[in-house]
Amino acid sequence: MAEQVESFEIDLEKERKEILNAFRGLLRSCKRRTKADTAMIRKAFDVALEAHKEMRRKSGEPYIYHPIAVARICSEEMGLGARAITCALLHDTVEDTHITLDDVEDLFGPKVRLIIDGLTKIPEVFDQNASIQAENFRKMILTISDDIRVVLVKIADRLHNMRTLGSMAPDKQLKIAAETKFLYAPLAHRLGLYTIKSELEDLSLRYTEPRIYEQIEANLKSTKDVRNRFIRRFTAPIKEALSEQGYKFEIKARTKSISSIWRKMTTKEVPFEEVYDLFAIRIIVDTTQALEKSDCWRIYSIVTDFYQPSPDRLRDWISTPRANGYESLHTTVMSPSGKWGEVQIRSKRMDEIAEKGLAAHYKYKESKDSDSKFDRWIAEIRDLMESQHNNALDFVDDFKLNLFAEEIYVFTPKGDLRVLPVSSTILDFAYDIHTAIGDRCIGAKVNNRLVPLSYQLNSGDQVDIITSPKQRPNEEWLRFVTTARAKHKIKGSLNEERKLIAQDGKEILERKFKQHNIRFTHENISALEKFYNVNSGTELYYRIAKGKIDLTKLREIENQHGLLQVKKKTKRPVKKTKVAPISEIDQKKDTIIIGEDFKNIDYSLAKCCNPIPGDSVFGFITINEGIRIHRNNCPNAEHLQSKMAYRCIRARWKGQQTVERVASLRLKGFDQVGLVNRLTEIVSNQHNVNIRSISFETIDGIFEGKIKVLVYDTYHLQELMGKFELVEGVQRVERWDDGADDYMEDTTG
């Protein structure tokens, strides 16, 4: 026993030394720090170490490793200063330990308190109408206008959690990965943290689509040597020419991220072998800010002396930086061996901003244009904050609209540049200029041509908005707009107009009450809400003003001394689907075994992804349709898991299933005589399964076919797909999902 204790003490001593080494590594990573900065960071470490001393992570290591790692990401990968590092060390203390916000303020001041408050989650409450994930995200985002470091520390926290996600349970991995891909990766992109954004997307894919991730990773490893040889040959003449011209430069080769490769494979519908730009050559020139633009274009000229550029693949983000401050010159060129290669040209300053995003902007104060773009984005967040009537899920939807990845550049009549998301319309542009212009907009002249409100703008368009004092926003406008700002402003105008109309309805009702000797009280208004089946007094008044409520029916309601007595309506018993009340379900312990009864609650297979035995699945609790079983890689899984994880539950298939289920396949290739006959023969004769439906379309010798078959499980389906791939002419066979109709039913009803 004594030996065991001694051994345990040695382990603790070893851990203590490793923790101190980790902290020293953190201090070494803080390049620019004063003695006061060092003292503050050390004090934060001491407080966090003491507060978390009894805690361990799921992996078994001391919890303090996590805040140290988050702080190091803030320092090394984001270039943040001492206060952000202090907050990173303390970020979980208020949420998980005895430390309070008052303690934090006493020790480190009000600024650190503000940041820690923004990082502290709202306590979980089991409210069927609330998403804790969405509420916490909204709380964090609302602090952006006070201190952007809240979001930067949170992204660092999420990055380390994703790096160590392997120790979590599979259902937790899926929910965290889905939320990361849905919200945190786009947020990192919007803040200019490209390297972190790519890693978050890759780690998300690793857990949401493990087979795909492993396959692309293996393909990259197997082609690495060939790729490296090509890069050496490709860059050799460029290096020689740049050196002769006297440039101080660095050339890096960056392989495209796994998630980016997968995105290209799905959007272009090509296999891995046909993704031509697997890597990019980055030329970083060390020059002054005054010369960097001209130097980058001269280097572009040198590159294109050796290699032919693709005319439609030039991206000039030096003359017009992206909305998040990104500056670089991109071109795609053809090598002598017939392979395309992407070349990125930028200065050392531009590269630091591209790597460290927003944090690097504060280092380069001269970059006023970029700072103003961030200020403008923060102003848009303030606009969203004003929308108090929105619930957290609406807020997340609206906020996500602001995390656009692609932009267009549009000009005012005077030549001022405005940056908008792709697919923006005339209305988006009008509201981007001013709310009053948006509210009165009736159309526009784009490049001197008259266009309607719904016209989608393109880069380079010059837009002259036409207004009318008689114009008012209407509900249909919400379908035309893309930006969160425009949606918020339109909803605000509609609500104000609705309130004015409701005021008229209230006056009409007051007059009617006087005629019938009914008192105008809260109780009587509530009685009318029940009688006319409306959900609020404002809605009641609005419908009265619009003539949608028949007030002659007031005579039918019993009036006792001025008080209305609404009798309860007797309804015929209707057979309902058993709904899943959240209170009956323990998400941490319960698992649906598909094929067995689950707490007398109905569940069914989602039509949007048609899961079959062998698929990894989860259950989603609908409002009044029981539980729907979705595949983990369902097109809608990311939305459900990230925004409404509180309604998701573990699910798995029962041992051996003998029930046939529908699976959809899509085939592509070159049309051949008798192709359809050969495919149907495989299904019917070789596999003895039934075809539910089949359709083929051929355009210029290329066919696309969709087949729905009945199979027992994923093994059965894979076997069938393998047979299809052997048919002459067939190039690709893939699982195909019907769409998102079932998802809409899940989330709304």
Most confident of 33-42, 555-564, 589-598, 681-690: 33-42
DSSP structure class, residue 634: -
What does the pLDDT read at residue 439? 92
**Backbone φ and ψ of 605, nearest 5°:** -85, 130
Name, in order, each residue with C-beta under 8 angstroms of 674's C-beta and a sequence gap of 6 or more: none
Please indicate, yes or no, whether residues 389 and 474 belong to a single structural domain of this protein.
yes
The tokens describing 688, both together, are: 């003895």
**Backbone φ and ψ of 61, nearest 5°:** -80, 155
What does the pLDDT read at residue 40? 93
Report yes or no on 100 lying in a domain: no
Whole-Å CA distances, 359 to 162, 324, 371: 22, 12, 11
Catalytic residue numbers read 95-96
Give the residue-averaged pLDDT of 523-546. 82
Please indicate, yes or no, whether residues 339 and 268 belong to a single structural domain of this protein.
yes
**Backbone φ and ψ of 312, nearest 5°:** -95, 10
Report yes or no on 684 lying in a domain: no
CA-nearest of 409, 396, 399, 394 to 377 is 399
Long-range contact pairs involving 696-699 (C-beta distance under 8 Å, separation at least 24): 698/671
Please indicate, yes or no, whether residues 503 and 463 belong to a single structural domain of this protein.
no
More confident residue, 12 or 479: 479
For residue 69, pLDDT over 90 is answered with yes
For residue 646, pLDDT over 80 is answered with no
Q: Confidence band (pLDDT; 50, 70, 90) for 20?
A: very high
In whole angstroms, give the CA distance from residue 459 to residue 422: 9
Please indicate, yes or no, whether residues 250 and 331 belong to a single structural domain of this protein.
yes
572-576, 605-609, 670-674, 710-714: segment of lowest average pLDDT = 572-576
The Cα diameter of the chain in Å comes to: 100
What does the pLDDT read at residue 1? 33
For residue 636, pLDDT over 50 is answered with yes
In whole angstroms, give the CA distance from residue 290 to residue 306: 27
Domain boundary among 302, 328, 356: 356
In whole angstroms, give the CA distance from residue 61 to residue 671: 58
What does the pLDDT read at residue 744? 47
CATH number reported for the structural domain that contains residue 388 in this entry:
3.10.20.30
Most confident of 440-444, 520-524, 543-547: 440-444
With 0-12 / 13-18 / 19 or more C-beta atoms within 10 angstroms meaning exposed / middle / buried, residue 707 is buried
- Give the chain's length: 749
Residue 633 one-letter amino acid: N
What does the pLDDT read at residue 44? 93
55-59, 565-569, 602-606, 664-668: segment of lowest average pLDDT = 565-569
Domain boundary among 300, 329, 356: 356
What does the pLDDT read at residue 8? 41
Please indicate, yes or no, whether residues 473 and 496 belong to a single structural domain of this protein.
no
Report yes or no on 537 lying in a domain: yes
79-93, 158-172, 547-561: segment of lowest average pLDDT = 547-561
In whole angstroms, give the CA distance from residue 156 to residue 180: 12
Give the residue-averaged pLDDT of 263-289. 85
In whole angstroms, give the CA distance from residue 719 to residue 732: 15
Q: Confidence band (pLDDT; 50, 70, 90) for 501?
A: confident
Please indicate, yes or no, whether residues 226 and 314 belong to a single structural domain of this protein.
yes
Please indicate, yes or no, whether residues 349 and 223 belong to a single structural domain of this protein.
yes
CATH number reported for the structural domain that contains residue 242 in this entry:
3.30.460.10
Q: Confidence band (pLDDT; 50, 70, 90) for 658?
A: low
Give the residue-averaged pLDDT of 710-724. 81
Report yes or no on 263 lying in a domain: yes
Residue 451 · residue 466 · CB < 8 Å: no
Residue 85 · residue 34 · CB < 8 Å: no
Place of tokens 């699982």: 735
Place of tokens 């406008």: 477
558-572, 585-599, 603-617: segment of lowest average pLDDT = 558-572
CA-nearest of 288, 279, 305 to 247 is 288
Please indicate, yes or no, whether residues 460 and 526 belong to a single structural domain of this protein.
no
| pTM, 2 dp | 0.70
CA-nearest of 459, 371, 354, 480 to 417 is 459
Report yes or no on 238 lying in a domain: yes
Domain boundary among 518, 544, 565: 565
Please indicate, yes or no, whether residues 302 and 222 belong to a single structural domain of this protein.
yes
Q: Which residues are bridge partners to 706 per DSSP?
A: 666, 695
DSSP structure class, residue 646: G
More confident residue, 577 or 314: 314
Report yes or no on 197 lying in a domain: no
For residue 688, pLDDT over 60 is answered with no
Report yes or no on 640 lying in a domain: no
What does the pLDDT read at residue 578? 47
Report yes or no on 397 lying in a domain: yes
The tokens describing 27, both together, are: 């201090």
Please indicate, yes or no, whether residues 445 and 391 belong to a single structural domain of this protein.
yes
Domain assignment of residue 519, given as a range = 492-565
Percent above pLDDT 70 for the chain: 82
In whole angstroms, give the CA distance from residue 504 to residue 604: 48
The tokens describing 117, both together, are: 């408050």
Please indicate, yes or no, whether residues 275 and 256 belong to a single structural domain of this protein.
yes
Residue 411 · residue 418 · CB < 8 Å: yes
| pLDDT, averaged across the chain | 81
Please indicate, yes or no, whether residues 234 and 327 belong to a single structural domain of this protein.
yes
Total domains in the chain come to 3
Give the residue-averaged pLDDT of 377-393. 57
For the CA atoms of 335, 337, 342, 347, what is the dihedral angle to 10 degrees? -50
For residue 749, pLDDT over 70 is answered with no
